[in-house]
Chains A and B, each alone.
Chain A
Amino acid sequence: MYKRLLNIHQVRNGLIHTRLPSTKCKEKERFAPVIWAMGRARPLGTSSIFFSENKESSTSLSEDNAKRPEENEANAEVNNDGQKNTKINEGNNISNAMLTSQLETEPVVKPEDSKKLDKTKTGKESLLELLGAMKVDVTTIRKVRPPKIPRISERPDPKPMESVQSMFQHATAEVSQQRETLNPTLVAAASAAASTLPNSRQAESELLQQLRKHEAIPDTQRRADGQNIGDIIADMKVGKKQNARSNARPGSQIRFDDDGQGYTRDRGITGELDAVRTRKSPFTSKRLNIFNAGAEQDSLSVLGPTLWDINLANQIVQATNQTPRNGFEEMIQWTKEGKLWQYPINNEAGLEDEASVPFHEHVFLDKHLDGSFPRQGPVRHFMELVITGLAKNHHLTVQQKQEHIAWFRDYFQQKDNVLKEAEA
C-alpha cells in the first residue's frame, strides 16, 4: 500500500514537473496559480492521468483517446513492480514530454523521478503516519458540484496558498542529490521534440536551456524546507480549508482495488473545471503556420469601392441595428446624411468654394467695368451703382457677380444703336 502510493506520488510529481515549464513559457502571469492548483491537487490524490488528460483535452480533443490506454498501462506497471518504477517513471515522463512537444510549440521537459526513491525512504515513518491521515481525504466521496462555475479570471488568493506552495516546494525538494548535468534521455527527448519544429536547432537549445533553468529552482527551494513531512501535510490541510474552491476538487481520485490493479479513473465535471483552470487558453495554442506575419502584399491598385464592397457595407448595415436610440444619435445620423448643420458650427459651411477667394475680388469690382463699358456718361454711372450694390451683396459668389456684370455688358451692347440715337 505504502509503496504503491509512493510510486503514484512520484509519477505525479514527474508529471507536474513535466508540465510546469511549458506553462511557464506560455503564460508567465499564470505561472503561479497553475502551480498552486496542482500542488493542492496532490493531497487529494489526483491521478497522473488526470493531468495528462487535461492537457490533452485542452489542446487536442481527438488525441485524447489515443493517449489514455498507454498511460494506464504505464501506471499499472509502476504499481505492480516496485523495482522498475524508476525506469518506467522516466519513460512515462519522456512520453509525456513527447506528447507535450507534439502538442505545443515550446515543450520543455523536466527530469525528476530518477533519484527520488532514496530520498523518500528517509522519511518513511513520518510518511506512513501521514498516509493514515491522508486516507480520509482519498476516500472522500465526490462532493456535489457547486452550481456556479468559477471563471477563468479568478485567481486563487496567494496568501492562503503559501503553505501549499511550501508543501509543493518540499515535494520537489525530496530529491537530495545535486544534478549538474541533464539526464541524457531527456536531452534526447528534447532534441526529438525540437526536430518536429521548423527551427529545430534553436528550439532544441531553448529546450535544454529551459531544462537547466528549472533544474536550478529545486536546489534553492530545497534549503528552505524542514525535514518533517508531517508539518507540510498539516500546512496543506490549512491551505485547503482556506481555499473556497477546494470543494470542487475531488473530482477524480485514486481508488484502490484489492486486486492490485491500481486505480480507476473518474472523470467528472470537476475534471473539466480543472481543465479550464490549469490549461492555457485555446486562443494561445498553436497556429496554422501558413502565413508569414511580416509578409507584405504587393498592394494592388485600389480602384475605389467596387460593387461588392458596396454590397458588403449594405449587408452589414442591414444585419446590424442602426436605429438611433436617442435624439443625439438621430442627429448624428442626419449629420452623416448631410441634412444637419455640422458641428462645430461654422458660418461658412457649404461655401467651401469661396474660401479661397480673397475679399477684394468681392468688393472691388471696378476692373470688370474697364474696357467694355464707356468711360463716362449715364451708362457708366448706372454701372457704378450696380457694382456698388454687388460689392455689398454677400449672398452672391464672385462668379455670380461677374455674370451679373456680364449680363449688363451684353445688354448695353445690344442696345448700342438705341444709346447712340439718344446720344447718351
Chain B
Amino acid sequence: MVFDHALGVMASSCSRALRHHACKSSRILRIHLQNSWPNRSFALNSAADQQPAVSSLEEIVIPKKKTWSKEAVLQALASTVNRDPTASDYRFQDDPYLAPKTALEFKLFSLSQEAGRNAAKYFINKYPNYFQKDYAHPHIPCLMPETLEAQIEEASEAALAERVQLRKVKAAVDLYDQLLQAGTTVSLDVTNELLELICFYGDCDPAQENVPEQRTEETEDVQEEAQAKKARGAKPSDALRTPWKENNNAERIFALLSEPNTRSYSALIRGMVKYGASSRAFSTYTDLLNSRLTADVHIFTALIAAAPDVQEKYNEKWDLIVDLLKQMAEQKVKPDLLTFNAVLKALRRCGSVGKSQAFPVMREMKALNIDPCLASYGHVLSIFYKAGAPVQGQKDILQEVMYEVSGKSFTPQDPDDAQFFITAMRICLDTKDIEQAYRVHELLGVGDNWRLVGDYVKQNIYYARFFSLLCLMESVDVMMKWYRDLVPSVYYPSSNVMTDLLRALDTDNRLELIPQIWKDIKTLGHGNRQKLVEDLLALMARETHTPQDSLADCALDIRSLYSTGDRGKALMSWTAGSLSDVISVLLAAHRRAHAWETLKLFKTHNRVPSVHLLNRFLTCVKDSGDVDEAVELVKMSAGFCLPDTHTLIQRIQQEFELSPQHRSILSDLEIQSFSSD
C-alpha cells in the first residue's frame, strides 16, 4: 500500500490520465498514447497490435544457404577499419622503435622487412633437407621448401617438361637437343611451352627472382619522374636486357618444328616484341598468315604494341594499327582490354593522330562491352597532356575523364594502371586545377583504388604533387588540414615540398605556424637542408607580428643545429644572410645575450655582417643603455673594416653618454676607419 502510494506520487499526471483511459477501448488508448507518449508506447502498442498480426499470418521464407568465400568475414571486418592519420603504416606498428619518421627510414624499414622474408625463403629453398618437418595441420604448402632442382635425370619428355616448369632455360634447351639427337620426338605442346620459356626470357636464364627485378623497376620510375627519359624508343630497362638475337635458340627450335601452330607463332612473336625485334615480329606474322593460320589475341596485342617502332610517321603508325585491328576483325579474334590498352599506348606515340583517335578507340571498347581500366584512362590523359608541354585548351579532357571514372572502384588489370593517379595529379598540378585534384583524390578513396596508386615511390610522387598543388592553391587552413592528415602517416614531404609549404605560409601571412613546422621539418630529417633552413630563417626575420619568443627559441634551435654536425662534420655552413637573420629574430625577441653570441659567430666563420644589421643591433643596445657593448660593437665593425664604421661611431657619440675612456677608444677607431678609407 505504501509502495503503491509512492508510485502514485512518482507517476506523473499523465500516467494517471492513462489509467483513467484504460477502461475505455484499447483503440482509444492507442491513439492517446501515440499522441502524448510516442516514445514509450511500444509496450502497450504491441499488445494492441497483436490482433491484426494474428489474422494475417506472414509466410516465412527461409533464406537459402549462402556460401561465403573464405575472406568474406575478414573483408567485412577490414572495411570497418579507417585510416588513423596519427599512426604510421600498419607494417611498422609492431615495433614503435621502428616507426619511420623520414622518407628514407620508411624505405629502409619496408625494404628490410621484405629483404628478411626473401632471405628466409632463400635459406629454406637452398637447404630443403633441414625444413622437412611439417608441423602444420592442415598442411600449409607455402611454408614448405620449394623444389628448385630437377628431379628427373634421364633424358625424356617428362624431364623436359620439368625443366620448363622450373624455368631453367639453358638446361631445357640442352635437353631438347639431346632428345632430338636421340631421335625421340617431343610433342608439340611441350615444345610450345619450351618456346614460350625461351622467348619469355629472351634465351637467357632468368636472373635471380624478385630482388633485381624490383630494383630495375624502381630506377625506371625514378628516371621517368626526372623526365630524363630518352625521347622515344626503348625503355631503360629494355636497354639493360639482351636484345633479340637472330637465329637464337627460339628461332632455331621454331624452324625445327614441322607444323608450328598458332601457339608457337604466338610465343615467338611475343618474345620478339618483348626484346625489341619489332620488324622481325611483323615478318613472322606474315609467315603465320602464309601458312594459313589465324593469329590469337596475344599476337595482335604484341604487334600493336610494336607498331609505332616499325613506322616513322604518325599517320603510318596509326594506319598500321588500324590495319591490324581490321585483320583481327576479319579473323574473328575478339580483342580484350590489353589489346585496346596497347592501342592507346601506341597512340601516345602518334602525336596529333593520337588526339583525334583516342576517343573513338575508347568508344569502340565500350561498344564491345570492355570496361576500360585505369590504364586506359591514364593513356588517354598522357595522349592529351604531354609532360613538360604547355597545356592549353585541354583542361576539359581531364574533366571528362574524371567524370567518367569518378565513384568507380577499379581492380588492377594492367601493369600501367598504377600510372593513372600520378599522371592525373601531374596534370592537375600543371593546370593548377585544385577542383580536379580533389576529385582525383576522392577517386583514390573509393573501394580498393588505393592499391592502384602504386608502390611506395609512386605514392610519394602522387602525394608530393597533390600537396604542392594544395600549397599553391588553397588557403593555409585547408592546406594545414591536409597536412595534418597526410603527414607523416602516408606521406613524408621532401624538402622542396616543405619550401612550398613555407611559401604558402608566407603568402597568407600565417608565420605564427613556423615553430610548429620547424619541429616537423626536424622530425622529417630536413633539419640539415641548408636551403630550406635559410628560407625558414629569412621568413622568421621578416615576421614582426607573432609572439617573438617562440620564433627566438626556434632560431636558437636552428643555430645549435649548425654547430653540431654529423660525426664532427658540420652539414651546414653559416652564411652572412642566415647569421643576420638569426640575430634579427633574437633582437626582435629582446634576447640580446644570445644575439651577441651569434654576432661573434661572424668572426669565427669569416663572414661579414651588414651595416644595417649593426645599426639595428646598436638601436637595441641603446635601449638598454649598455655603453660597453656599444663600443664593442664598433670595435667589431672596425675589425671587419666596414666602410660605414664612422657613422656608427657618430651615432654612439651622439646617443650614448660616454666615459672619457670610451671616447678615446672611439676616436682611435674613427681615425683607423678613416685611414682605411
Partner of B90 from the list A281, A308, A317, A324 (CB cut-off 8 Å) is A324
B58 at the interface (CB under 8 A from A): no
Give Cα distance in the complex from A338 to B136, angstroms.
11
Question: If the complex has contacts A289-B364, A291-B325, are A321 and B453 also in contact, measured as CB distance less than 8 A?
Answer: yes
Give Cα distance in the complex from A315 to B75, angstroms.
24
Give Cα distance in the complex from A330 to B418, angstroms.
22
Question: If the complex has contacts A293-B367, A307-B200, A316-B414, are A288 and B325 also in contact, measured as CB distance less than 8 A?
Answer: yes
B90 touches A330 (CB 8 A): yes
Chain A 332-365: CB-based contact to B (< 8 A → 1; otherwise 0): 1001111100111000011100000000000000
Give Cα distance in the complex from A306 to B164, angstroms.
11
Residues in B whose Cβ lies below 8 Å from that of A62: 352, 355-356
Interface residues on A, range: 35 or more
Partner of B412 from the list A149, A316, A343 (CB cut-off 8 Å) is A316
Question: If the complex has contacts A287-B363, A344-B68, are A152 and B412 also in contact, measured as CB distance less than 8 A?
Answer: no
B4 at the interface (CB under 8 A from A): no
A28 at the interface (CB under 8 A from B): no
Residues in B whose Cβ lies below 8 Å from that of A411: none
> Quick check: which of A38-46, A111-119, A296-304 contacts chain B, the rest being far away?
A296-304
Tell me the count of chain B residues lying within 8 A, CB to CB, of chain A: 83
Partner of A320 from the list B329, B369, B412 (CB cut-off 8 Å) is B412
Residues in A whose Cβ lies below 8 Å from that of B414: 316
Partner of A291 from the list B335, B357, B395, B413 (CB cut-off 8 Å) is B335
Taking the nearest CB of chain A, how far is it from the CB of B298, in angstroms?
Answer: 7
B352 closest partner in A (C-beta): A62
Chain B 399-413: CB-based contact to A (< 8 A → 1; otherwise 0): 110011000000011
Residues in A whose Cβ lies below 8 Å from that of B527: none
Chain B 312-328: CB-based contact to A (< 8 A → 1; otherwise 0): 00000000001001101
B67 closest partner in A (C-beta): A344
Taking the nearest CB of chain A, how far is it from the CB of B187, in angstroms?
Answer: 13
A325 at the interface (CB under 8 A from B): yes
A326 at the interface (CB under 8 A from B): yes
Residues in A whose Cβ lies below 8 Å from that of B368: 291, 293
B450 closest partner in A (C-beta): A321
B542 at the interface (CB under 8 A from A): no
Residues in A whose Cβ lies below 8 Å from that of B361: 288
A329 closest partner in B (C-beta): B78
B329 touches A61 (CB 8 A): no
B window 86-103: CB within 8 A of A: 89-91
Give Cα distance in the complex from A275 to B397, angstroms.
11
A382 at the interface (CB under 8 A from B): no
B81 at the interface (CB under 8 A from A): yes
Partner of B454 from the list A60, A320, A342 (CB cut-off 8 Å) is A320
B454 touches A321 (CB 8 A): yes
Taking the nearest CB of chain A, how far is it from the CB of B129, in angstroms?
Answer: 23
A290 at the interface (CB under 8 A from B): yes
A244 at the interface (CB under 8 A from B): no
Give Cα distance in the complex from A284 to B520, angstroms.
48
Partner of B70 from the list A275, A292, A311, A335 (CB cut-off 8 Å) is A335
Partner of B71 from the list A281, A323, A336 (CB cut-off 8 Å) is A336
B196 at the interface (CB under 8 A from A): yes
B78 touches A332 (CB 8 A): yes
> Quick check: which of B138-146, B642-650, B653-661 contacts chain A, the rest being far away?
B138-146
Residues in A whose Cβ lies below 8 Å from that of B139: 350
B400 touches A318 (CB 8 A): no
Give Cα distance in the complex from A62 to B73, angstroms.
54
Give Cα distance in the complex from A289 to B140, angstroms.
51
A290 touches B75 (CB 8 A): no
A150 closest partner in B (C-beta): B435
Question: If the complex has contacts A286-B363, A287-B367, are A338 and B142 also in contact, measured as CB distance less than 8 A?
Answer: yes
User: Assuming A61-B356, A322-B451, A350-B139, what are 11 further A-B pairs, CB within 8 angstroms?
Assistant: A61-B352, A61-B355, A62-B356, A272-B393, A272-B396, A283-B362, A288-B361, A289-B364, A328-B77, A338-B140, A343-B68
Q: List 30 A-B contacts (CB under 8 A).
A: A60-B356, A148-B435, A151-B435, A152-B399, A276-B396, A281-B403, A283-B363, A287-B367, A288-B322, A290-B329, A295-B334, A297-B334, A300-B296, A308-B196, A318-B214, A318-B217, A319-B412, A319-B415, A320-B451, A320-B454, A321-B451, A324-B90, A325-B81, A325-B89, A328-B77, A328-B81, A329-B78, A331-B74, A332-B78, A344-B73
Interface residues of B (CB under 8 A from A): 68, 70-75, 77-78, 81, 83, 89-91, 110, 137-143, 189, 193, 196-197, 200, 213-214, 217, 262, 270, 296, 298, 322, 325-326, 328-329, 332-335, 338, 352, 355-357, 359-364, 366-369, 393, 395-397, 399-400, 403-404, 412-418, 433, 435, 450-456, 459
